[in-house]
Amino acid sequence: MAKVVIENLYKIYSGEKGREVTAVDNANLVIQDREFVVLVGPSGCGKSTTLRMIAGLEDITKGDIFIDDVRVNDVPPKDRDIAMVFQNYALYPHMTVYKNMAFGLELRKFPKAEIDKRVRDAAAILGLTDDMLERKPKALSGGQRQRVAVGRAIVRKPKVFLFDEPLSNLDAKMRVQMRTEISKLHTRLATTMIYVTHDQVEAMTMGDRIVVMKDGVIQQQAAPLEIYNNPANAFVAGFIGSPAMNFLNGTIVEKSGDLYFAEDSAANGALLKLEPEQARKADAYLGRSVIFGIRPEDLQDRLYVANSDPGHTFSVTVEVIEPMGAETYLYLTTGAHSLISRSQVQLKVEVNSTIELVANIKRAHLFDAARKSDFAKPNGELDTDKWHAACPLIF
């Protein structure tokens, strides 16, 4: 059993010139026994700080952490029964791989035979050969070193595993391989795991549940597809999914009894008719600034769509074509906004041509646009991520 509960958790660092940094801002989180939870968000959003407070490596400014209903705020790290794997592996360079994995158990005065069994079991799970066990870490590849770091955590049989961006130093191919290995490991060990990453693909593919953070604040926590399909605000919508969701700024207008999204544009912007259910939710926003969101796969070239509805069609200019083989990405512009469409057809289009795009309106989202002037960076430019985090989902 290992349930981790975080209640009203804050971490406030006293930064330079007495300026305080709220790294974690009133976080509340219940991580169930055996759950694989991924904390994801851009660099500096407070992921590592949250993890380090769970591990006991960082003092808690305010709030509580419970492990299996025991408040651990004042329990030292070594007594929390938690193992943490870091991005930089943190292996001892002068020790063999075997010794690196055995060392923690030796300190805890485990019997030699038990240590040997645990190290060899972990090595087998992770595909580390006997030959590798006798080498020093520098004689291993990055992926193998990361396996040793994971092995060192496994041998302790902890209640909770914490991972802080463990794959960031690996090349793309090794990252994908280790991703599935850690997922398999979770299935095999059936232990609570909390995994931190800035990579939304890792979050989507590995987590039972994803917790999206931004500026120390938890923006949303839900299963991966729930977040993908129903993002809480425009920031989450833009952060989860690749290529990212397209956004058009505009307003809700009425035309002969129907509601439309009208793009802010000098001329001939997109004018998209809302579905009845969407119109019901958008009604309160008539005449107000909104953000229309649509994922790249929900925008298709009209020539390839059977039965397209003129109310869901608009013109764009093709700027770049990326033929990926199985898919084609088109980089497009309405004149006022850039868009990406993602199609499973090998499209025949030309750069600089104008095409008609069909929006799969049922999959579209609308966000209530907060006032932009409240989200300026020090240099006066709009801080789009901050602004988007303040634009909640309407549908």
The C-alpha atoms of residue 157 and residue 161 are separated, in whole angstroms, by 9
Q: How many Å separate Cα 323 from the centre of its chain?
A: 26
Query: Starting at the edge strand that comes first in sequence, how are the strands of the sheet with 209-214 ordered?
Result: 82-85, 160-164, 192-197, 36-40, 209-214, 217-222
- Can residue 43 be called a binding residue for ligand ADP (CB under 6 A)? yes
Closest separation in Å from C-beta 52 to ligand ADP: 8
Shortest reach from residue 374's CB to ligand ADP, in Å? 21
Query: What does 128 bind: ligand ADP, Mg ion, none (CB cut-off 5 to 8 Å by kind)?
Result: none
Q: How far is the CB of 238 from ligand ADP (least distance, A)?
A: 17
At a CB cut-off of 8 Å and minimum separation 6, what does 225 contact? Answer: none
13 binds ligand ADP (CB under 6 A): yes
- Residue span binding Mg ion (CB under 5 A) among the ranges 16-24, 41-49, 311-319, 372-380: 41-49
Q: Contact between 49 and ligand ADP (CB under 6 A)?
A: yes
Work out which of 9, 11, 36, 48 binds Mg ion, going by CB under 5 A.
Answer: 48
Non-local (6+) Cβ contacts of 45 within 8 A are: 213, 214, 215, 216
Cβ contacts of 135 within 8 Å, gap of 6 or more: 96, 97
Q: Which one of residues 5, 21, 95, 271 is an interface residue with ligand ADP (CB under 6 A)?
A: 21
Q: Does 197 bind Mg ion (CB under 5 A)?
A: no
Question: Rule CB under 6 A: is residue 48 a binding residue for ligand ADP?
Answer: yes
Of the pair 195, 367, the CB lying nearest Mg ion is at 195
The Cα–Cα gap between 262 and 289 comes to 10
| CA geometry: angle 111, 115, 116, nearest 5 deg | 120
Do residues 21 and 15 lie in contact, with contact meaning Cβ atoms separated by under 8 Å?
A: yes
DSSP annotation string for 34-86: T-EEEEE-STTSSHHHHHHHHHTSS--SEEEEEETTEE-TTS-GGGS-EEEE-
Residue 49 makes contact with Mg ion by CB under 5 A: no
How many Å apart are CA 364 and CA 358, to the nearest integer? Answer: 12
Query: Among all chains, which residue has been given the structure tokens 């709030």?
Result: 63
22 or 308, CB closer to Mg ion? Answer: 22
* 77 scored as a contact of ligand ADP (CB under 6 A): no
Q: Does 59 bind ligand ADP (CB under 6 A)?
A: no
For residues 322 and 331, the answer to whether their CB atoms sit within 8 Å is yes
- By CB under 6 A, tell whether 18 contacts ligand ADP: no
Decide: is 15 part of the binding site for ligand ADP (CB under 6 A). Answer: yes
Residue among 41 and 207 whose Cβ is closer to ligand ADP: 41
Q: Is 45 in the site for ligand ADP (CB under 6 A)?
A: yes
Cα(first)–Cα(last) distance of the chain, in Å? 38
Using CB under 5 A, which of the segments 43-51, 91-99, 226-234, 368-376 binds Mg ion? 43-51
46 lies in the site for ligand ADP, by CB under 6 A: yes
Q: How far is the CB of 166 from ligand ADP (least distance, A)?
A: 13
CB of 166 or CB of 269, closer to ligand ADP: 166
On the question of a cis peptide bond just before residue 392, with omega within 30 degrees of 0, the verdict is: no
Three-class secondary structure of residue 165 per DSSP: coil
Q: 221-250: which residues touch ligand ADP (CB under 6 A)?
A: none
Tell me the one-letter amino acid at 80: R
Query: Element (H or E) spanning 205, and its range?
Result: helix 200-206
278: partner contacted, choices ligand ADP, Mg ion, none (Cβ within 5-8 A by kind): none
Member of 26, 44, 68, 142 binding ligand ADP (CB under 6 A):
44
Q: Is 323 in the site for ligand ADP (CB under 6 A)?
A: no
> Which part of the chain contacts ligand ADP (CB under 6 A), choosing from 13-21, 177-185, 320-328, 329-337?
13-21
Please name the residues in contact with 197: beta carbons below 8 A apart, sequence gap of 6 or more.
38, 39, 40, 47, 165, 167, 168, 203
Q: Which residue is nearest to Mg ion (CB)?
A: 48
Choose among ligand ADP, Mg ion, none what residue 166 binds, the Cβ cut-off being 5 to 8 Å by kind: none
d(CA 36, CA 38): 7
Question: Minimum distance between the CB of residue 42 and ligand ADP, rounded to whole angstroms?
Answer: 7
**Residues contributing to the site for ligand ADP (CB under 6 A):** 13, 15, 21, 23, 41, 43-49
**Residues contributing to the site for Mg ion (CB under 5 A):** 48
